[in-house]
Each structure stands twice: as C-alpha cells, then as structure tokens.
Amino acid sequence: IFLLQGTVAQSKQENHLVKVDDNQGDGSVLLICDLKDKTILWFKDGNRISPPNSTKNTWSLGNSARDPRGVFQCQGAKDKSKPLQVYYRMCENCIELNIGTIFGFFFAEIISIFFLAVGIYFIAGQDGVRQSRTSDKQTLLQNDQL
C-alpha cells in the first residue's frame, strides 16, 4: 500500500484498517485505525511510536509540507493492520502537464527558433568590414630619415 502525493494506491479487494485523512484545514495528515480495540498501538517502520496505553485510533503525522514518510501499522489486542507506506513529496515548482501547457511550450519554442534564425540571417547577411586603404597610400619612411 502506497500513499503518493495524497493518493492511496492499493488493491480494492482487501479491507484496509489504516486510512489516511489529509483533508485537514491546517494541512496536517492523520492516520485512522479502524480497529475496535480499547488500546491501539502505532508502529512506524516496525518500531512502536505511540505510548503503551494509547486509546487514540488516530495518529498525526504532522504537516504534509514536511514530507511525512514511513511504513505505518496499528495494532490492537487481537488484530494488526497491514502495513501502509506513506510517502509525501510536496511539489512547489511543478507544472501540470496538460494539452494547453504542451502547446504553449511548443509555440514558445517555434517563436524562439524563428527569432534566432532572423538574427543569424541579418548577422550573416552583412557585408564584411571594409578596411581602410590609407596604409597602402602612405609613404614609408626610410631608415635614414628617422
């Protein structure tokens, strides 16, 4: 079971006891255990993270901007949930790739190639720099005139 970018990729046939609630107003991520036991223990990467006599069926992973990740399980007196791998990666500079974005990139590339070609055409089309022929007409001084 994986949680990537706020979505859970899991098979629909199984009954999963750990659910993710990332629709909190403050941006926090909660894990919810559906076990009906009084004491529920929480585990992260195989290590217990909850107090010994915890009765809360929720576990806060903190803010989603801090990229919470790990393999989480909850355990009651009789049952233990299947592991849920949580992996958040906040994307601050991401671009949604739809047809409009692709067309915009393509159009901008065509325009930039056009301006580059026009610039090369005008630079290459200029006449060469004419050198002054005054040095040819100057009389050179002989060594004894210095």
Q: Do the beta carbons of residue 63 and residue 47 sit within 8 Å?
A: no
d(CA 53, CA 40) in angstroms, rounded, equals 8
Distances (CA, A) of 34 to 7, 42, 58, 109, 123: 19, 12, 9, 53, 72
Q: What share of the chain is helix, strand, coil (3-state, %, to 5)?
A: 25, 25, 50
Return the closest-CA partner of residue 3 out of 24, 30, 27: 30
Q: What is the pLDDT along the chain (146 residues), one digit of tens a residue?
A: 344 444 444 555 455 788 888 777 787 888 899 888 888 899 999 898 888 777 788 888 888 777 788 899 988 888 888 888 888 777 777 777 889 989 999 999 999 999 999 999 988 887 665 666 555 556 666 666 65
The predicted model scores a pTM of 0.53
Return the closest-CA partner of residue 54 out of 73, 68, 75: 75
